[in-house]
Chains A and B, each alone.
Chain A
Amino acid sequence: MVSQGRKIIMNLYRRVAFTATDRKKLMAGLWAALSAVVAQPVQAVDFAFSGFATVGFAQSDQEYNYQRFVNKQGTFKRDSMFGIQMDAKLDNEFGVTVQGKLAPALNNDQDVEATITRAFLSWRPTNDWLVRIGRLHAPVYLNSEHLDVGVTYDFARLPAEVYASVPSTDADGIYVAKTWNVDDSEVTLNGYWASAKMPYRYYFRDNVPPLLSSGAYFVSTRQSARGLILTVQQDDNIFMVGAHDIDTKIFGNLLMPTSYPYVNLLPGVGYYQTANLLPGPGVLSVDNFRSQAYFMAADMRVGQGFRVVGEYVRSVVPVAAGPDSQGGYLALLKPIGAWTPYVSLARLVSMSRTRDMYNKVNGNTLPSKYFGSDLINAAQRAGADGIIAYDQSTWAIGTSYRINPTSKLKAEWAQTRTGDMSQFIDVPPGGTSGKQVINVFSLSYNVVF
Chain B
Amino acid sequence: MNTTLKLISLAVSSALACAQVHADEIVVIGNGNVPKMDAATVQKVYTGKFTSVSGVSVTPVGLKPGTATRNRFLQDFLNQDEEKYTAYWTVRRYIGKGAPPTELASAVDVINYVKNTPGALGYIIEAELTPGLNVIARR
Contact flag A152-B87 (CB < 8 Å), given A50-B93, A127-B50, A127-B52: yes
Instruction: Supply 22 A–B pairs (Cβ within 8 Å), ascending by A.
Output: A46-B102, A48-B102, A93-B51, A99-B94, A120-B96, A124-B51, A126-B52, A127-B51, A130-B97, A136-B96, A139-B95, A145-B94, A145-B95, A145-B96, A146-B90, A146-B94, A148-B94, A149-B91, A152-B87, A405-B65, A405-B86, A448-B90
Q: Could you list which residues of chain A lie within 8 angstroms of chain B, going by C-beta atoms?
A: 46, 48, 50, 52, 85, 87, 89, 91-93, 95, 97, 99, 118, 120, 122, 124, 126-127, 130, 132, 136-137, 139, 145-146, 148-149, 151-152, 179, 186, 402, 405-406, 448
Residue of B nearest to A48 (CB): B99
Q: A89-B98, A92-B59, A127-B44 are in contact. List 12 more A-B contacts (CB 8 A).
A: A85-B94, A87-B99, A91-B57, A92-B57, A92-B58, A92-B119, A122-B98, A127-B52, A146-B91, A146-B95, A152-B94, A405-B65
Residue of B nearest to A149 (CB): B94
Tell me the total A-B contact number using a CB cutoff of 8 A: 70
Give chain B interface residues in 85-139, CB to chain A under 8 Å.
86-87, 90-91, 93-99, 102, 119
Contact flag A405-B82 (CB < 8 Å), given A87-B99, A120-B96, A127-B51: yes
- B49 cross-chain contacts in A, Cβ below 8 A: 127, 179, 186
Of A89, A92, A139, A151, which contacts B90 at CB under 8 A? A151
Contact with A along B62-99 (1 / 0, CB 8 A): 00010000000000000000110011001101111111
- A186 cross-chain contacts in B, Cβ below 8 A: 49
Of B83, B87, B99, which contacts A50 at CB under 8 A? B99
CA of A50 to CA of B119 in the docked complex: distance in angstroms?
A: 25
Residue of A nearest to B85 (CB): A405
Of B50, B86, B99, which contacts A406 at CB under 8 A? B86
User: Which one of B52, B59, B93 has the greatest number of beta carbons of chain A within 10 Å?
Assistant: B93
B95 to chain A, nearest CB (A): 4
- A48 cross-chain contacts in B, Cβ below 8 A: 99, 102
Which 7 A-B residue pairs are closest in the complex by CB-CB distance? A92-B57, A405-B86, A48-B99, A145-B95, A146-B94, A87-B99, A405-B83
Chain B: residues with Cβ within 8 Å of the partner, total of 24
User: For the complex, would chain B's binding face be called helix, strand, loop or mixed by DSSP majority?
Assistant: mixed
Give chain B interface residues in 24-73, CB to chain A under 8 Å.
44, 49-52, 57-59, 65
B79 to chain A, nearest CB (A): 10
User: For the complex, would chain A's binding face be called helix, strand, loop or mixed by DSSP majority?
Assistant: strand
B121 to chain A, nearest CB (A): 13
B75 to chain A, nearest CB (A): 15
- A95 cross-chain contacts in B, Cβ below 8 A: 98
A168 to chain B, nearest CB (A): 13
Residue of B nearest to A47 (CB): B99
- B82 cross-chain contacts in A, Cβ below 8 A: 405
CA of A179 to CA of B48 in the docked complex: distance in angstroms?
A: 13
A137 to chain B, nearest CB (A): 8
- B83 cross-chain contacts in A, Cβ below 8 A: 402, 405
CA of A405 to CA of B98 in the docked complex: distance in angstroms?
A: 19
Of B59, B87, B91, B98, which contacts A87 at CB under 8 A? B98
CA of A92 to CA of B117 in the docked complex: distance in angstroms?
A: 13
CA of A132 to CA of B86 in the docked complex: distance in angstroms?
A: 24
Residue of A nearest to B65 (CB): A405
A377 to chain B, nearest CB (A): 49
- B86 cross-chain contacts in A, Cβ below 8 A: 405-406
B112 to chain A, nearest CB (A): 17
- B50 cross-chain contacts in A, Cβ below 8 A: 127
- A120 cross-chain contacts in B, Cβ below 8 A: 96
- B94 cross-chain contacts in A, Cβ below 8 A: 52, 85, 99, 145-146, 148-149, 152
Verify A122–B96 contact, CB threshold 8 A. Answer: yes
- A99 cross-chain contacts in B, Cβ below 8 A: 94
